Structure 1
Amino acid sequence: MRWIVLTLLISNVAYFAWELVRGSDYAPAEASASVLPPLKGKALVLLTERLPDTASSAPPPAPVVVVPPTPVHREVDSVKAKKEAMCVSVGPYEAESDGEILVKNLKVEGFTSKVEALELSRDVQYWVLMPPAQSRKEAMAVLRNLQAKRIDSYLVSTGELKNAISLGLFNKEQSAKGVLASVREAGFAAELRQKERIQNEYWVRIPPEQPLENLQKTLETLVVSGGSVKISNASCEMFALTQ
Structure 2
Amino acid sequence: MRWIVLLLFVCNLGLLGWFTTAGQERSMVVRPVGDTGSSGSIALVSEADPEQLDAASGKAEAEAVRGTAQISDRGVGGSDTAAASAASLCALVGPFEEAYQGEDVAQRLNALQVSARAQEIAMQGQMRYWVFLAPLSSTREAFRRLRELQSEGIDSYVIPKGSLENGISFGIFSERGRAEGLTQELKSQGVAAQFREEPQTYLEHWVVLGGEDTQLSPEFWQQLQRDYPGIEQRQNLCSEIQGASES
Q: Which protein is bigger by CA-based radius of gyration?
A: 1
- TM-score with structure 2 setting the length: 0.47
**Richer in helix (by share):** 2
